[in-house]
Structure 1
Amino acid sequence: MFVNGALQPARRHTTVHDRWTGEPVGTVPRDGAEEAAAAVAALAAGRRATTPQQRSAVLTRAADMLTARAEEFSTLITAESGVCRKETLREVSRAAGNLRVAAAEAERIRGESIPLPDGTRLAVTLPEPVGVVLGITPFNRPLNQVVVKAAPALAAGCPLLLKPSEKTPLTALAFAELLVEAGCAKDMLAVVTGEPGEVGPPLAAHPDVAMVTFTGSVATGHAVAAQAAGKRQLLELGGNDPLFVLPDADLRRAAKLAADGSCATAGQSCRGIKRVFVWEEVADEFTALLEPAVAAKRAGDPRREDTDLGPLVSEEAALVVERRIARAVRDGARLVTGGERDGALVRPAVLDHVPPDTELVTEETFGPVAPVIRVRDADEAVRLSNGTAYGLQAGVLTRDSAAFWDIAARLRVGAVNLGEGPHFDSPHIPFGGVKSSGVGREGIRYAIAEMTVTKTVTLPGPYGTG
């Protein structure tokens, strides 16, 4: 495990392989319940008090260092995740941006004073760190998913225990080393690597862990939530995010948004476009524009400058996508382009006339697929959109503000974007969903609020004798 500022000797190790070449990239400890308990104990024993200014300075230095080492981190992310170089460079920039926002927000954490109505007492609220925060992160963005857990936790003054995906642990360890170099106190940070079933349950259930923040699948999230019963929880459990293309939309821009949003990270993004609801009167024209936009996406070696998407995280994941595409075609969809699989690589696909009840669109499909579902009107589109277990984000393309507000009001999602896809994001706004998409909100300021608890102090008031 990584504790006290460095990796410790390990009894067992796991080799991480390059997602494209299959060659070893590095080895990490395969920690178990004993190491998990030791990591929590080290953080619980530390708990040193730091000022907002100190925390802000550490996060600012970390952002500067990460920016300076962008090439190094991009190369590492591409190797262990298979995400193409174009995107991993953006991921590093995005992570640095999150750190800078957290640095600013660290100095804005404050309470309030509340004079009681009868004037006898004054209440003062004091935000305090919730305690040890356990951050469990997925494979698809090995750096930024870590940063969106780490940055608000450290800004709030919480000791942080990271459990990165067993598929992509190297980036998290490199980032932990960077944080220590940036001045993060060694007893405020630990990283445990290993198989989820071996370290996840003892970490989530440990009595000294005060909060669990998790990003991953619904099934795993529910298992984590059960283990962490009674603790504060922030769960981001995925999405089945729709893009609505109304008849008055700019169809060329809509096709580009749909292509980009369905293929980013090879389709392995919780906020990526998973369904495209297109009004029937423009569906033929839209699909004719979408086909070349998706077909132009180059799939292959993620290190090449001209590659748009690399392999999925595993061949098993690619087989799931292949099977769902084939099932959709059997159910009546028309495969317009793409969908071929070569190992873990899936060619980006467009499907038209997709039945709304086929598995490709009722479940969260993690692959580069743009499924077009033709609808008659807003009522049908909203009904179908709300008809799955998920409710993360949505995008609506229209020039009609009344139509937009009507759709936005009826959607059961955490965010609706006008003129953008569901994949739009910013560290300044809340991020999270409803229904099976999760509990609580990320976004730096909102995550900091989740990671603090309010202590109220009352004093004799200035206007009474209390």
Structure 2
Amino acid sequence: MELYEIFCAGRFLRTATPLEIRSPYDQDLVGRTWLAGHAEYEMAVGAALAIRHRLLSQPAHERSAILMNLVELMKTDREVLARLIALEAAKPVRYAFGEVDRAIQTFFVAAEEARRIGGEYLGLDWTPAGNRKEGLVKWFPAGVVGGIAPFNFPLNLASHKLGPAIASGCPVILKPSTRTPLSVLHLARLMHDAGVPEGAVSILPMDRRTGDLLVTDYRLAVLSFTGSPAVGWDMKARAGRKKVVLELGGNAGVIVDEIADPDMAAIKCLSGAFAYSGQVCIHTQRIFVHRSIFRQFTEVLVNETAGLKQGNPMDIQTDISAMIDEANAIRVEDWIGEAVGGGARILAGGNRKGSYMEPTILTGTRQDMKVCGLEVFGPVVCVEPYDGFDEAVRLVNNGRYGLQAGVFTDSLAVMNQAFEQLEVGGVIINDVPTFRVDHMPYGGVKESGSGREGVRYAMQDMMEPRLLVKPF
């Protein structure tokens, strides 16, 4: 059993408050770390403020080189990182390896974008007042960034705070989830070895009271939060003048058009619905299938679901394992029961054993049921027929969220209509809304968030444009 010291202002520390991390799968002890308190938080903020001006003058090639050093160290420790994610989060290890690879890509993109921070030349003589004057727009780091990362992608979603901050020249203080801090604390070791300047990065597991300082502290310039909508919007209301980037939840919808291949769509929806027990912000939660192919689609989806292997997350063959805790599994079970009590039918699954929830397919659901109208964040998918594409668009748009949507079709007209009319941050054609690569702009509308991630887009929120006007 390994000890993981917190990373505070460039130093590895222990505090008076130990934290044990146990596997959600079998409650075995995975590792021990410590919670940062007010003193460690102040140390991190003080170091971040002190190094801010040094980072401002750090050449882009140096920031890029540090990030590339980190990429190579992560490649070397790929298996270590994947094992930690699988153990601390009960994420099947084959998905954990995928998360590590994505985090490596996130830092690689950050290394590239660090050298591409551009500017803009403006001719100002559009009016007589601008005669013999010209403008130059240059981007500057906004200041100290506070990042709060969730349990479900403990490494990669932390990387989406850390990578853009380093590339932008911003000091960053990250609060990982206290359920899954070990993979990102191992990353801290690699960051230290990669040459991150002392004080530029702190990674502090904190309780909610201490972590809330990232929200309310006026000395921070940016808050980047990934988590639930209720918590995120409350943070934004209390954050004062700082920039706030929110990547929140959703109940992502899929439309399967009448000319789509129902078998292919069903197989892709299987992964979108049940990967990591549906504990994904863009988990496929609602599927609307044209009535003419509804029966074929559901038969394939039910049959493929029956073939998923449940078990130990460390087994490379495991498809689905325990949820993050039993309380969340009980909540999902209750929501399923509520839907069935309201007239929905279970096509597959529906049973719980401890923190394991069977992959569940429902039909006959309504928007006022929690499994449809709220973010289930579990292995549940609702499948319903529709008759016309306009109706399907209305069904997807009917609700409080708007993160991503998937549309299966070969019709350019349908693709264009979906892009124009779906009220979401991203429309994915012939794939599930769970699709994401780490350089694309990612974020939602309505209650699903504010701002965008994807390294270059996150950097824009971590920087400020400044205008120089001069004569020539």
TM-score, L = length of structure 2? 0.95
Separation in structure 2 between the aligned mates of residue 347 and residue 311 of structure 1, nearest angstrom: 9
Structure 2 residue aligned with 1:60: 68
Q: Equivalent residue of 2:312, what SS?
A: coil
Separation in structure 1 between the aligned mates of residue 70 and residue 350 of structure 2, nearest angstrom: 40
Separation in structure 1 between the aligned mates of residue 172 and residue 45 of structure 2, nearest angstrom: 9
Instruction: Give 1:418 deviation, angstroms.
Output: 1.1
Separation in structure 1 between the aligned mates of residue 8 and residue 193 of structure 2, nearest angstrom: 14
Instruction: Give 1:34 deviation, angstroms.
Output: 3.4
Structure 2 residue aligned with 1:237: 248
CA contact (8 A) 1:355 1:373 kept: no
Separation in structure 1 between the aligned mates of residue 284 and residue 65 of structure 2, nearest angstrom: 37
Instruction: Give 1:174 deviation, angstroms.
Output: 1.0
Separation in structure 1 between the aligned mates of residue 131 and residue 192 of structure 2, nearest angstrom: 48
Q: Which amino acid aligns with 2:33?
A: V
Instruction: Give 1:173 deviation, angstroms.
Output: 1.1
Structure 1 residue aligned with 2:387: 376
Q: Equivalent residue of 2:315, what SS?
A: coil
Q: Which amino acid aligns with 1:31?
A: A
Q: Which amino acid aligns with 1:100?
A: F
Q: 1:173 aligns with which of 149, 172, 185?
A: 185
Structure 2 residue aligned with 1:464: none
Q: Which amino acid aligns with 2:446?
A: K
Structure 2 residue aligned with 1:405: 416
What do residues 156-177 of structure 1 show as CA deviations (whole Å, max 9, x unaligned)? 0100100011111111211111
Q: Equivalent residue of 1:16, what SS?
A: strand
Q: Equivalent residue of 2:466, what SS?
A: strand
Q: Equivalent residue of 1:455, what SS?
A: strand
Q: 2:24 aligns with which of 19, 24, 30?
A: 19
Q: 2:172 aligns with which of 135, 160, 181?
A: 160
Instruction: Give 1:199 deviation, angstroms.
Output: 1.6
Structure 1 residue aligned with 2:207: 195
Separation in structure 2 between the aligned mates of residue 281 and residue 353 of structure 1, nearest angstrom: 17
Instruction: Give 1:425 deviation, angstroms.
Output: 1.2
Instruction: Give 1:53 deviation, angstroms.
Output: 0.4
Instruction: Give 1:434 deviation, angstroms.
Output: 0.3
CA contact (8 A) 1:391 1:435 kept: yes
Separation in structure 1 between the aligned mates of residue 147 and residue 12 of structure 2, nearest angstrom: 18
Q: Which amino acid aligns with 2:121?
A: S
Instruction: Give 1:99 deviation, angstroms.
Output: 0.9
| 1:225 counterpart = 2:236 | yes
Structure 2 residue aligned with 1:69: 77
Structure 2 residue aligned with 1:7: 12
Q: Equivalent residue of 2:402, what SS?
A: coil
Structure 2 residue aligned with 1:330: 341
Separation in structure 1 between the aligned mates of residue 28 and residue 238 of structure 2, nearest angstrom: 36
What do residues 299-349 of structure 1 show as CA deviations (whole Å, max 9, x unaligned)? 221011110122110101111111111111122221111121111111111
Q: Equivalent residue of 2:470, what SS?
A: strand
Q: Which amino acid aligns with 1:177?
A: R
Separation in structure 1 between the aligned mates of residue 383 and residue 34 of structure 2, nearest angstrom: 44
Moved more, 81-90 or 366-375: 366-375
Instruction: Give 1:71 deviation, angstroms.
Output: 0.6
Instruction: Give 1:369 deviation, angstroms.
Output: 1.6
Instruction: Give 1:35 deviation, angstroms.
Output: 2.6
Unpaired runs of 5+ residues, structure 2, are: 1-5
Separation in structure 2 between the aligned mates of residue 307 and residue 65 of structure 1, nearest angstrom: 28
- CA-based RMSD: 1.3
Q: 2:103 aligns with which of 77, 88, 95?
A: 95
Structure 1 residue aligned with 2:286: 275
CA contact (8 A) 2:214 2:223 kept: no
CA contact (8 A) 1:120 1:460 kept: yes
Instruction: Give 1:119 deviation, angstroms.
Output: 3.3
| 1:443 counterpart = 2:454 | yes
| 1:116 counterpart = 2:127 | no
| 1:105 counterpart = 2:103 | no
TM-score, L = length of structure 1? 0.96
CA contact (8 A) 2:339 2:370 kept: yes
CA contact (8 A) 1:37 1:202 kept: no
CA contact (8 A) 1:295 1:349 kept: no
Separation in structure 1 between the aligned mates of residue 219 and residue 246 of structure 2, nearest angstrom: 19
Separation in structure 2 between the aligned mates of residue 429 and residue 2 of structure 1, nearest angstrom: 29
Instruction: Give 1:110 deviation, angstroms.
Output: 1.3
Instruction: Give 1:450 deviation, angstroms.
Output: 1.1
Separation in structure 1 between the aligned mates of residue 104 and residue 159 of structure 2, nearest angstrom: 8
What do residues 221-279 of structure 1 show as CA deviations (whole Å, max 9, x unaligned)? 12221231210111011111111011111111111111010011210000110110112
Separation in structure 1 between the aligned mates of residue 34 and residue 172 of structure 2, nearest angstrom: 19
Structure 2 residue aligned with 1:344: 355
Instruction: Give 1:4 deviation, angstroms.
Output: 3.1
Separation in structure 1 between the aligned mates of residue 304 and residue 417 of structure 2, nearest angstrom: 30
Q: Equivalent residue of 1:226, what SS?
A: helix
Structure 2 residue aligned with 1:28: 33
Structure 1 residue aligned with 2:3: none
Q: Equivalent residue of 1:22, what SS?
A: coil
Structure 2 residue aligned with 1:149: 161
Separation in structure 1 between the aligned mates of residue 79 and residue 29 of structure 2, nearest angstrom: 20
| 1:421 counterpart = 2:458 | no
CA contact (8 A) 1:261 1:421 kept: yes
Separation in structure 2 between the aligned mates of residue 388 and residue 152 of structure 1, nearest angstrom: 32
Separation in structure 2 between the aligned mates of residue 269 and residue 440 of structure 1, nearest angstrom: 19
CA contact (8 A) 1:160 1:188 kept: yes
Structure 2 residue aligned with 1:137: 149
What do residues 89-146 of structure 1 show as CA deviations (whole Å, max 9, x unaligned)? 0111111011111111110001111121143211111111111101100000110011
Instruction: Give 1:373 deviation, angstroms.
Output: 1.9
Instruction: Give 1:356 deviation, angstroms.
Output: 3.0
Separation in structure 1 between the aligned mates of residue 235 and residue 13 of structure 2, nearest angstrom: 26
Q: Which amino acid aligns with 1:61?
A: N
Separation in structure 2 between the aligned mates of residue 9 and residue 427 of structure 1, nearest angstrom: 33
Separation in structure 1 between the aligned mates of residue 44 and residue 327 of structure 2, nearest angstrom: 32
Q: Which runs of 4+ in 1 moved over 6 A?
A: none
Identity %: 36
Moved more, 52-61 or 224-233: 224-233
